[in-house]
Amino acid sequence: MDAYSSTSKKTSLMQIIPVMLCFFAMGFVDLVGTASNYVKQDLNLTDAQANLFPSLVFFWFLIFSVPTGVLMNKIGRKKTVLLSLVVTAVSLIIPITGNGYMTMLAAFSLLGIGNAIMQTSLNPLVTNLISGDKLASTLTFGQFVKAIASFLAPIIAAWGATTYLPTFGLSWKVLFVIYAIICFLSISLLGATPIQEEKQDKASGIIASLKLLGRPFILLCFLGIMCHVGIDVGTNTTAPKIIMERVGLPLEEAIFATSVYFIFRTIGCFLGAFILRFVPAKSFFAISIIMMLAAMIMLYACDSLLSLYIGIGMIGFGNSNVFPIIFSQALIAAPKEKNEVSGLMIMGLFGGTVFPLAMGFAADAIGQIGAVAVMTIGVAYLLYYTLKIKKINA
């Protein structure tokens, strides 16, 4: 056991807390959905103009993820995370200074860039603190912390828009102020926290990183991430439409289906952080995917509101732990290229653009059952991936 592995529990806790606060900052990207609705209202935008904001987020994941993996080899993981926090802080300050369309486009672009850098570098940084069979559960707990920030964003924005307390004329934009303060706190705490990093990966370029997809298991993990995110974004966008089509509820009531998904995904992240400490990752992953497959069958066959909510909740719970398990599998499968592999896995978040697009065409052709069919293909792939999961030794 090396000197780093024998670090005291107190020191480990002092390192984990700033890192978990960074996971909270990672969740700031999900405010784009809430903010875009308010910006649309403030600037009288069309749906197409407003929808450009969330689309930008996934675009920057495609562009910046792999280069960030290369950057980590040069400056280290902690410095890369700090860079991502600085970019995120700037993105949160910009909307406070103005309200023009181009101003908001710049803000959300920087938010997407900062988050792409953060998601690529923060997960490998955790491997400097946690290893072996505890890695998946720690990454899952990080996703739970991230989900808290995502869950709070619409609540804070609504409070800012309706509160009688002084918000200095910012209204819903008080959300940016609060999250910017937390972001600066994250920068301060992480910057002051000593983290002994592993020896930097061998120098590599973007092409060399992409060549890692030539390794069968890394490619399987990449496609798994694409399916996970595609199902995630697809459920968020399609669940209300299914409720409207099957039950006939108006959008104002059907939109609660999205909240059901987020609630159960958050619960799943929280419980998964503990379950994965006692249950093998392969077994828990299999249970999660079978749960999602059963949920897809319910979305095909059921017409009652309760049964549809149960199915949507099962997808949320089942999909909540897919990302950290696949991510940890990929990192451990390529211990000498963790930075590059992290970039590739985060690039897989582009599945959040691919799946909804395919689901939209399918829904236009045969109704929302077509969208469910596209998601089912993703679940089927994850079921196949279950057979390939490797045992992780502590």
pLDDT band at residue 239 using 50, 70 and 90 as cut-offs = confident
Q: How far apart are the first and last CA of the chain?
A: 12
Q: What is the mean pLDDT of the chain?
A: 83
Closest CA to 228 of 346, 56, 120: 346
CA–CA separation, 389 and 26 (whole Å): 27
Query: Which single residue is written with the structure tokens 């700033």?
Result: 18
Q: Which residues contact 25 (CB under 8 A, 6 or more apart)?
A: 85, 88, 118, 149, 179, 182, 183, 186
CA–CA separation, 220 and 349 (whole Å): 14
- Ranges of H-type helices in 98-173: 101-126, 135-162
Q: pLDDT above 70 covers what percent of the chain?
A: 89
Average pLDDT over residues 12-19: 83
pLDDT band at residue 50 using 50, 70 and 90 as cut-offs = low
Query: Which single residue is written with the structure tokens 């505890």?
Result: 134
CA–CA separation, 322 and 329 (whole Å): 11
* Lookup: tokens for 108: 């959300």
Q: How much is the pLDDT for 252? A: 60
Average pLDDT over residues 29-33: 76
Residue 149 CB-density burial (10 A; 0-12 exposed, 13-18 middle, 19+ buried): buried
pLDDT band at residue 226 using 50, 70 and 90 as cut-offs = very high
Closest CA to 24 of 189, 257, 231, 222: 189
Query: Which single residue is written with the structure tokens 């069979």?
Result: 133
Query: Which single residue is written with the structure tokens 């998946």?
Result: 136
Higher pLDDT, 275 or 310: 310
pLDDT band at residue 127 using 50, 70 and 90 as cut-offs = confident
CA–CA separation, 52 and 70 (whole Å): 28
* Lookup: tokens for 299: 């979305």
CB 224 within 8 A of CB 322: yes
Higher pLDDT, 228 or 45: 228
CA–CA separation, 203 and 314 (whole Å): 43
* Lookup: tokens for 331: 């990192």
Q: How much is the pLDDT for 391? A: 64
Q: List, as one string, the DSSP characters of 287-299.
A: HHHHHHHHHHHHH
The reported pTM is 0.74
pLDDT band at residue 8 using 50, 70 and 90 as cut-offs = very low
CB 385 within 8 A of CB 326: yes
* Lookup: tokens for 362: 């399918």
Q: pLDDT above 90 covers what percent of the chain?
A: 32
Residue 1 CB-density burial (10 A; 0-12 exposed, 13-18 middle, 19+ buried): exposed
Higher pLDDT, 222 or 391: 222
Q: How much is the pLDDT for 393? A: 41
What's the full length of the chain, in residues? 394
- Mean pLDDT lowest for which of 125-139, 155-169, 202-216? 155-169
Q: How much is the pLDDT for 204? A: 61
Query: Which single residue is written with the structure tokens 């926090």?
Result: 85
CA–CA separation, 161 and 169 (whole Å): 10
Q: Is the dihedral of CA 387, 124, 14, 182 positive or negative?
A: negative
Q: How much is the pLDDT for 123? A: 83
Q: Which residues contact 357 (CB under 8 A, 6 or more apart)?
A: none
Q: List, as one string, the DSSP characters of 59-116.
A: HHHHHHHHHHHHHHHHH-HHHHHHHHHHHHHHHHHHHHH---HHHHHHHHHHHHHHHH
How far does Cα 288 stand from its chain's mean position? 18
Q: How much is the pLDDT for 115? A: 92
Residue 265 in this model has a pLDDT that exceeds 80 = yes
Q: What is the DSSP letter of 302?
A: -
